[in-house]
Structure 1
Amino acid sequence: MSYSDNMFASLFDKQKANQFNIGNTNYKERVIKLKKLKHALESTYKQDIRDALYADFKKPQLEVDLTEIYPVIDEIKYVSKNLKSWLKKQHVGTPLAMLGSSSYIINEPKGVCLVISPWNYPINLTFGPLVSAIAGGNAVILKPSEMTPNTSRLMAKIVADLFDENEIALVEGEVETSQALLELPFNHIFFTGSPAVGKIVMKAASKHLTSVTLELGGKSPTIIDDSVNIDKVVGKIIYGKFMNAGQTCIAPDYVLVDERIKESFITSFKKQVSKFYSEQPESSEAYSRIVNKKHFSRLNELLEDSKSQNAKIDSGGQSNDENNYIEPTLISDLNEDSKLMQEEIFGPVLPLKTYKTLEEAVDYINSKEKPLALYIYSKKKKNINYILDNTRAGGTCINHNLLQYLNHNLPFGGSNNSGIGKSHGYFGFLEFTNQRSLLKQHTFGAVDLLKPPYNNWKQKIVDLTIKWF
């Protein structure tokens, strides 16, 4: 389904007119919507989703099930189980000075929301925020990426089959479509993408003082000290880095390795890449492709830039432009001003950097923007605590990677350059609701004694209140 600019405004107006009908639904009615989506993903359209993602960038079926379908279904289960309690009026304390009153918080819908999702995990990162928006009682317009046309087309069909457009609609289109949507006065915008585009979204939102959730990215570092079992650690890093051919916002972007274990890291890397993807990863059914020629060329340029500065390819480095294939690659001896060390890589290239002291590694991390994720591999509690105390990140996983994303009890999101706001579970629900304060006065209160005209007696009451209450 596509809309002209006028049709975008018309669609927005339909949802705006219907927002209170949606907002006044109870938890049972919202759970019914969520279960409709759940059934569509796990049954009706499951194979269609697998086929669409394979067509877009040869995503392996198991990865589709694990990283696209499962997270949304698990989110639906978690939200459905807890939504009743989240929607209850929350009683909070009232100061003694306001005796005769009671105080509450109610989580009310924000209204009409826009979700702009990326191409790397299109099902997950479109329908995941939608679950939170539905739980909050909102109307929603979804705008997925044009870079995965088969999946976007399928999602449009799913949404149209399940929902009326005056409550949830999906619009397809190029960048101009997103620009037109951003002109509209949404009550909340949830954007997942790069920091550069996040700034554009935030600037557009500021025109209407629209609240935003920005799930961005950055260069997520991995620190490895010399206390680890190197084979176990390297296996975990390869899994996290090369899933989806490295096109993951929380993938390890580069590794900082104690210089004493550099060579053992390289040896283990070569061995385990072959174990995961065979001697010829291009023929492996477990390895994705780069999403399109533009991103393939960008990644090749990053590699060529580093090679021209005498960086060392320790493993991999081969590519095939016929099918956007880039081999799992480990590269070291990089100049700090190389593009690989300055830009988020978002592909199957892993820079290797060594350090002499933990302080040196921490200083290096702190010289860059706050990352979305920071990974620590160590058996030493002292080292782990030192890194945690002296760095800042959106989230951290110790002795593994990516897993923090899958726990709905944890808030997911960045800080500053890596994002604003949180998602998943209760935290996603809060992003799509306004915590409305409610105070109800039941009887004549002390404050009512302090109305003008003022006198010495009233002043004494104020003095006593300041001192004792």
Structure 2
Amino acid sequence: MEEAKEKGVFNEEKACLVVKELRKSFDSGKTRSYKWRISQLEAMAKMIEEREKDIIEAVDKDLSKPQLEAYIAEVSQTKSSCSEAIKALHQWMKPTKVKTAITTYPSSAEIVSEPLGVVLIISTWNFPFLLSLDPVIGAIAAGNAVVLKPSEVAPASSALLADMLTKYLDNSAVRVIEGGAPQTTALLEQKWDKILYTGNARVGRIVMAAATKHLTPVILELGGKCPALVDSNLNLQVAARRLIAGKWACNNGQACISVDYIITLKHFAPTLINALKEELEQFFGKDPMKSKDMSRIVSSSHFSRLLKLLNDDKISDKIVLEGQKDEDQLKIAPTIILDAPDDSLVMQEEIFGPIMPIITVDKIEDGFDIIKSKPKPLAAYLFTNNEDLKKSFVENISSGGMLINDTVLQVVTPGLPFGGVGESGMGSYHGKFSFDEFSHKKGVLYRSFKGDSSMRYPPYTPKKQSLVKALINGNIFHMILILIGCSKL
């Protein structure tokens, strides 16, 4: 322990000190004011505007993410989230009026949104700025002190986040802690007022177990195997392009909401596969390994994990589009597998890469059973022109979010929550939902000293009991009869 201190390693003792400092700042009341919240959000907006080039360069270093893709996801979406919070903050902070009952007359009631306190946000590497800053925006808007732990798997992005937030935001209430598992473990040992974690279910269970020690509420954004059910009744070219946009043009499949596998009709599968091949060539050229419009795999360990999926003997004769592989570049070209067995590795775990299994069924409705046989996904997609099928899909498939006839756009739609269900996560955020997740909704009832009735106080005479029962049941006529002595008690 002494050696760790001497080397400046972030350990449990230092984590405890950080939380104490932030809690002192929160307890001072400074983060509760509208003035502080709006100043931090405006500083955040300025930061994103001024450091746009640095953000895009950092994402390029970590993921070779195409500039346009990085701008849309990491810069534009974060800007949009910040702008919405700035515009709506005053309204979000207003108490919500609630009707009161006759039993408390005269009175008024409201729901007050108050900050939870000191919160921990553990973000992930695939969208390192969006998935770090979006929840931070919500936590600040709600008036909390915040610790952000970026992912060490995207080191350039992590370092830039630490640098930017230190320079632009109030460090007495907002901190960034870099590092890997030891630093995360040290942070999780502390008592927080809420924890948001984005990542995989294995680590999600660790986070939840740590939070349980202190009865800390959690938001878990975990992902899962997101299906796309593709009917034959559709515009084939548009559907193929949108499926590609939700897989290979979405961080090369390294996204929790990307299409993990397709389910389609047996007779339609060859037609769909040909359409995907044609559009993939249009998007990334005849040699996709040379394309600058496709992200690389984030690390050698993730590259090896994907190779393991592809080297599974159970799919050796099922690959209908075999993508090139280059470990030096950490690149795998688009790969399509037809009818991978359900017990194959590629169908048993979230892929998080450029591999697309296509499962065939005799009837499109049979796809429902396949989806239901797996844990509830973070997103579910349906492509069809059949209105009855759309209705049935929405009613019968449980998922964190859903989109009909497109992919991924549900997460950038203002007013819609983003979150999982079951093993794909718990809690949701984005916009007002972020504000609400990081707030406690405190119910407040106001009464005056007028209108005090002896009915609620002892001694409980038969007359009082009858009056109280009539009042609770809303039987005003019966109350009048009791009061004038025209009713038997």
TM-score by length of 2: 0.93
- Rounded to whole Å, the distance in 2 between the matches of 1:337 and 1:23 is 55
1:130 aligns with 2:109: no
Query: How far did residue 358 of structure 1 move?
Result: 2.7
Aligned to 1:219: 225
Aligned to 2:320: 314
SS at match of 1:468: coil
Pick from 277, 286, 289 the counterpart of residue 279 of structure 1: 286
Deviations 1:87-114 (Å, cap 9, x if unpaired)? 1121110011111111011100000000
Query: How far did residue 445 of structure 1 move?
Result: 4.6
Deviations 1:219-268 (Å, cap 9, x if unpaired)? 01001111111111011111110121110000010001122211111111
1:254 aligns with 2:299: no
SS at match of 2:78: helix
- Rounded to whole Å, the distance in 1 between the matches of 2:9 and 2:39 is 27
Change (3 A) 1:311 1:250: farther
Aligned to 1:18: 25
Tell me the C-alpha RMSD between the 2 structures. Answer: 1.5
Deviations 1:386-408 (Å, cap 9, x if unpaired)? 11111111110111010000012
SS at match of 1:81: helix
Aligned to 2:408: 402
- Rounded to whole Å, the distance in 2 between the matches of 1:99 and 1:24 is 35
Change (3 A) 1:153 1:259: same
Give, as a single letter, the amino acid of the residue that structure 1 aligns with 2:36. E
1:30 aligns with 2:37: yes
- Rounded to whole Å, the distance in 2 between the matches of 1:350 and 1:309 is 12
Percentage of matched positions with identical amino acids? 37
Give, as a single letter, the amino acid of the residue that structure 2 aligns with 1:384. K
Structure 1, gaps ≥5 residues long: none
Query: How far did residue 322 of structure 1 move?
Result: 0.8
Does the aligned pair in 2 maintain the 1:11–1:166 contact within 8 Å?
no
Pick from 283, 299, 302 the counterpart of residue 295 of structure 1: 302
- Rounded to whole Å, the distance in 2 between the matches of 1:13 and 1:52 is 32
Does the aligned pair in 2 maintain the 1:190–1:214 contact within 8 Å?
yes
SS at match of 2:61: helix
- Rounded to whole Å, the distance in 1 between the matches of 2:458 and 2:183 is 57
Greater displacement, 443-452 / 263-272: 443-452
Give, as a single letter, the amino acid of the residue that structure 2 aligns with 1:416. G
Query: How far did residue 309 of structure 1 move?
Result: 4.1
Aligned length: 467
SS at match of 1:106: strand
1:234 aligns with 2:240: yes
1:55 aligns with 2:64: no
Query: How far did residue 33 of structure 1 move?
Result: 1.1
SS at match of 1:122: coil
- Rounded to whole Å, the distance in 1 between the matches of 2:453 and 2:170 is 49
Query: How far did residue 447 of structure 1 move?
Result: 6.5
1:349 aligns with 2:387: no
1:199 aligns with 2:205: yes
SS at match of 2:233: coil
1:39 aligns with 2:46: yes
Aligned to 2:458: 452
Deviations 1:69-96 (Å, cap 9, x if unpaired)? 1111000111111111111121110011
Does the aligned pair in 2 maintain the 1:226–1:260 contact within 8 Å?
no
Does the aligned pair in 2 maintain the 1:22–1:138 contact within 8 Å?
no
- Rounded to whole Å, the distance in 2 between the matches of 1:193 and 1:171 is 17
Does the aligned pair in 2 maintain the 1:136–1:432 contact within 8 Å?
yes
| Mapping of residues 102-181 of structure 1, within 5 Å | 102-181=108-187
Does the aligned pair in 1 maintain the 2:226–2:377 contact within 8 Å?
yes
Give, as a single letter, the amino acid of the residue that structure 1 aligns with 2:38. V
Deviations 1:401-432 (Å, cap 9, x if unpaired)? 10000012101101111111110011110000
Give, as a single letter, the amino acid of the residue that structure 2 aligns with 1:280. D
| Mapping of residues 384-403 of structure 1, within 5 Å | 384-403=390-409
- Rounded to whole Å, the distance in 2 between the matches of 1:460 and 1:375 is 58
- Rounded to whole Å, the distance in 1 between the matches of 2:465 and 2:364 is 60
- Rounded to whole Å, the distance in 2 between the matches of 1:17 and 1:185 is 14
Larger-gyration structure (1/2): 2
Does the aligned pair in 2 maintain the 1:98–1:446 contact within 8 Å?
no
Change (3 A) 1:390 1:55: same
Does the aligned pair in 1 maintain the 2:428–2:437 contact within 8 Å?
yes
Give, as a single letter, the amino acid of the residue that structure 1 aligns with 2:66. P
Greater displacement, 13-22 / 210-219: 13-22
Change (3 A) 1:292 1:448: farther
Query: How far did residue 23 of structure 1 move?
Result: 5.5
- Rounded to whole Å, the distance in 2 between the matches of 1:144 and 1:279 is 36
1:64 aligns with 2:70: yes
- Rounded to whole Å, the distance in 2 between the matches of 1:364 and 1:319 is 30
SS at match of 1:137: coil
- Rounded to whole Å, the distance in 1 between the matches of 2:67 and 2:467 is 72
Does the aligned pair in 1 maintain the 2:419–2:425 contact within 8 Å?
yes
Greater displacement, 314-323 / 423-432: 314-323
Aligned to 2:3: none
- Rounded to whole Å, the distance in 2 between the matches of 1:110 and 1:23 is 14
Structure 2, gaps ≥5 residues long: 1-7, 476-489
- Rounded to whole Å, the distance in 2 between the matches of 1:92 and 1:340 is 51
- Rounded to whole Å, the distance in 1 between the matches of 2:187 and 2:181 is 10
Change (3 A) 1:10 1:271: same
1:369 aligns with 2:369: no
SS at match of 2:148: strand
TM-score by length of 1: 0.97
Pick from 274, 277, 280 the counterpart of residue 270 of structure 1: 277
SS at match of 1:250: coil
